[in-house]
Amino acid sequence: MSTDSTGPTGNLVDAFATLGPTTNPIDLPQITVVGSQSSGKSSVLENIVGRDFLPRGTGIVTRRPLVLQLINRAKGTPNGTSSESSEGDEWGEFLHLPGQKIYDFGKIREEIVRETETKTGKNAGISANPINLRIFSPNVLTLTLVDLPGLTKVPVGDQPKDIERQIKEMVLKYITKPNAIILAVTAANTDLANSDGLKLAREVDPEGTRTIGVLTKVDLMDQGTDVVDILAGRVIPLRLGYVPVINRGQRDIEQGKAITSALEHEREYFENHPSYRAKAQYCGTPFLARKLNMILMHHIKATLPDIKQRIQSTLSKYQAELAQLGDNTLGTPSNIVLNVITEFCNEYRTILDGNSQELSSLELSGGARISFVFHELYSNGIKSVDPFDQVKDVDIRTILYNSSGSSPALFVGTTAFEVIVKQQIKRFEDPGLKCVTLVYDELVRILSQVLQKPIFKRYPVLKERLLSVVIQFFKQSLVPTNKLVQDLVAMEAAYINTGHPDFLTGHRAMAIVNERMQASKPVQVDPKTGKPLPVAQKDPMSPVTIGGVGPSDENGGFFNSFFATKNKKKMAMMEAPPAVLKASGVLSERETAETEVIKLLISSYFNIVKRTMIDMVPKAIMLNLVIFSKDEMQRELLEKLYKSDVLEDLLKESDFTVSRRKEVQKMVDSLQTASEIVTGVN
């Protein structure tokens, strides 16, 4: 890499400089200067440049990062015309003042102060927003350096109480990057073990592979002391070593001592000092500049392949985002709205059918959630309905007597069975309507998922209108869907099909009850033989006892309970029945048998209706809500949205989209420029 050009790093810095301090996507090789407050960092930079251009003073002077690009320009080059004085061969350019060349380095200092105060105020505040300065000169080597605020511990002026933490975080943000070369500046007349710059460098570079130490104020050390042991790596070793330098003192600066005189004094000091004269060529600012230039060149060559790869991958990412944001010339408003509606409907159908390219392996989505509602929530809800949690045995007995009218029934009446079954079938209406609501909620969930697509962020008005129209469309579809579910329940209650092939017949129910009752009776044993005595076979459903008072009914039954506590005189008086007659007493054997038969028949038919509802309600919802929405949504959207008088309003872009497109476009342009730069580097 020649020293007569900006080099790839300088050009890359230029390419990304307009992006701001937090948005640069590529970690570029650069030299980052760190050190304690008043350790001499600014003086080192001025000596490297050879000009006075940095603010001076006590306390914290550097209050914003300064990205300093030194660019070697031979005298008389197009950017430094030979017709001007020697002063015309050196100038500075600020990124925030594009096209302005500042030949007076005093004005460069004033501009740094002014620009710093615009962000931080005049009372020692700090800011992470950098100042970008390029200096063109035939007297510098091409370098990119970042001067950071000096590490401090005690807040002054407008500085917050946590100033130490803020500065440390700012410095770490720069030096943590693997491609950063750390220039740790330490005053030689202090204990190296207490160097804040070295301490911070060791946190991110524990092996010392990318840290170079600079020892300032060597001439201010106590008589008889030197930094030879440090230079030899016997104190705190660094792979890149240490360079001792001598800066101008505060008195020299106040008296206007030129940097050229200071550099000459530095050279003479090292050449004549007994501890350093043997290695004088490795001391001083000129050697430091050459070493930094060499380190930066090697570092760039080593990291260039990785930089190329990261530029390409980042460029692809931002180009994809720019494509999603879209450009300003997608077509006429009518075409855009038509395309958006078509894309929306296709995506809605895709998610419902489970054909999406973004299927999740972590959770159910789309149509799978609707299936869960049908086959888990609704099915289990219907199965949990128990007719006998509301209808007790005493209720069944009352209905049996009421259904037989004035004449006691000879057989178990179907009227009582139908009355109870119809009452219980109506209980299926609420779970069915709840299922409709749950499926509606899932469709709204799918709608929200589709509207997360980038195209709808771009057009918020169109997104809101789509949401409004589709929600209204869903609600309109709820009316016939709920009606159909209610009709299914009403159909089941309207006609009790006792001829259903799966229905338990009355004769079979009687037989089952008789078997259960006989099995529950105790077996009497002959005390002499020990054998079971023959049981008198008596059918509890026998006509002999039905409708009359048999031996088993003398102390029980529905009617006998009313006379159980009355004497014969009161019975003979034949008092009028009470206003309200309720069943009481213990069920007779006959009543127990009748009740059990009714319960068996109810359970059998109820299970048939359960299976029917579990099968038919999801079909009704699919027909009138889910499938209907898939087939008719596009027509509905076109009818409500595809109107010439609203198209322009629908396509108003959000402020976020407009600003984000500008940011991404700027990023893409910078990355494309950077790609061209690195492609041209061998």
pLDDT tens digits for range 398-407: 666 566 554 5
51 burial level (CB within 10 Å; 0-12, 13-18, 19+): buried
- The Cβ-side half-sphere exposure at 133, using a 13 Å CA radius, reads 28
Quote the domain boundaries for residue 206: 30-74+89-308
Provide the number of structural domains found in the chain: 2
- Per-residue pLDDT band for 6 (boundaries 50, 70, 90) equals very low
Q: Residue range 403-415: average pLDDT?
A: 56
Contact 34, 184 (CB under 8 A): yes
- Let me know: does 87 contact 173? Beta carbons within 8 Å: no
Instruction: Tell whether the model's pLDDT for residue 327 goes beyond 90.
Output: no
More confident of the two residues 24 and 71: 71
C-alpha–C-alpha distance, residues 404 and 541, integer Å: 16
Same domain as 475, residue 381: yes
How are the residues of the chain apportioned to helix, strand and coil, as percentages rounded to the nearest 5? Answer: 55, 5, 35
313 in any annotated domain: no
What is the Cα–Cα distance from 409 to 28, expressed in whole angstroms? 100
Alpha helices in 34-80 (DSSP H): 41-49
Q: Across the chain, what does the average pLDDT equal?
A: 77
Q: Report which DSSP code applies to 378.
A: I
What pLDDT score does 230 carry? 87
Q: How many CB atoms neighbour CB 674 within 10 A?
A: 27
Mean pLDDT of 473-485: 94
- Per the rule left: phi > 0, alpha: psi between -120 and 50, beta: everything else, 405 is left
pLDDT tens-digit readout, 34-52: 988 777 888 888 888 888 8
In a domain, 526, yes or no: no
Q: What is the CATH number of the domain that holds 203?
A: 3.40.50.300
How large is the greatest C-alpha to C-alpha distance in the chain, in angstroms? 147
Query: What's the pTM value of the predicted model, to 2 decimals?
Result: 0.52
- Give the mean pLDDT of 185-206: 87
Tens of pLDDT, residues 234-262: 888 888 899 999 988 777 777 778 888 88
pLDDT at 472 over 90: yes
Question: Do 374 and 269 share a domain, yes or no?
Answer: no
Please give the pLDDT value at position 537: 46
Predicted confidence at residue 55, as pLDDT, reads 81
Question: Which positions ≥6 away from 349 have C-beta within 8 Å?
Answer: 630
Q: Which of 383-387, 403-407, 569-573, 632-636 has the lowest mean pLDDT?
A: 403-407
pLDDT surpasses 80 at 155 = no
Residue 659 domain-assigned (yes or no): no
What confidence score (pLDDT) does residue 328 get?
55
pLDDT of residue 444: 92
> Is 615 among the domain residues?
yes
Task: Give the model's confidence band at 546: pLDDT under 50 very low, under 70 low, under 90 confident, else very high.
Answer: very low
Which residues are bridge partners to 69 per DSSP? 134, 144
- Where residue 11 falls among pLDDT bands split at 50, 70, 90? low
Q: 492-537: per-residue pLDDT in tens? A: 889 888 888 887 766 676 677 667 666 665 555 556 565 665 555 4
Q: In which residue are the tokens 């469709």 written?
A: 443
User: Helix 393-404 and helix 589-621: axis angle, to 10°?
Assistant: 100
CA angle 509, 514, 516 (to 5 degrees): 95
Is position 544 within any domain?
no
Establish if 436 belongs to a structural domain: yes
Asked if residues 423 and 492 have their Cβ atoms less than 8 Å apart, the reply is no
Looking at the fold, whether 53 and 131 belong to one and the same domain comes out as yes
- Residue 351 placed within a domain: yes
Q: Is residue 218 part of a domain?
A: yes
Report the interhelical angle of 196-204 vs 163-175 (nearest 10°). 50
Does 193 score more than 70 pLDDT? Answer: yes
276 and 368 co-located in one domain: no
CATH number, domain of 469, equals 1.20.120.1240
35 membership: H or E segment, kind and range: strand 30-35
Which pLDDT score is estimated for 548?
A: 36
Q: What is the mean pLDDT of residues 255-283?
A: 88
Asked whether residue 405 falls in the same domain as residue 463, the answer is yes
Q: What is the pLDDT of residues 350-361, one digit of tens each?
A: 888 877 666 555
State residue 400's pLDDT score.
Answer: 63
140-149, 308-317, 454-463: lowest mean pLDDT where? 454-463
* CA dist., res. 291 & res. 305, Å (int): 23
pLDDT confidence band for 81 (50 / 70 / 90): very low
Ramachandran bin of 246, using left for φ above 0, alpha for ψ from -120 to 50, beta for the remaining angles: beta
Residue 9, pLDDT above cutoff 60: no
Alpha-carbon distance values, 375 to 379, 561, 629 (Å): 5, 49, 21
End-of-domain residue from the set 275, 292, 308: 308
Do residue 502 and residue 633 come from a single domain?
yes
Specify whether 275 is located in the same domain as 349: no
Q: Are residues 603 and 637 in the same domain?
A: yes
| pLDDT surpasses 90 at 475 | yes
Q: Is the pLDDT of residue 555 over 70?
A: no
**d(C-alpha 194, C-alpha 196), whole Å:** 6
Q: Please state which of the ranges 273-282, 481-490, 547-556 shows the lowest mean pLDDT.
A: 547-556
Q: Helix, strand or coil for residue 182?
A: strand
Q: Which residues have C-beta within 8 Å of that of residue 600, sequence separation ≥ 6? A: 504, 509, 512, 513
How far apart CA 180 and CA 194 sit, in angstroms, is 23
CB 293 within 8 A of CB 141: yes
Q: Are residues 254 and 120 in the same domain?
A: yes
Same domain, 364 and 492: yes
Taken in order 445, 450, 456, 461, the sign of the CA dihedral is: negative
Sorted by sequence, the CB contacts under 8 Å of residue 149 that are 6+ apart come out as 37, 60, 62, 63, 64, 65, 126, 167, 170, 171
Residues 233 and 345 in one domain: no
Q: What percent of the chain has pLDDT over 90?
A: 14
**How many other CB atoms sit within 10 Å of the CB of residue 223?**
4
User: Mean pLDDT throughout 276-283?
Assistant: 89
Domain shared by 160 and 302, yes or no? yes
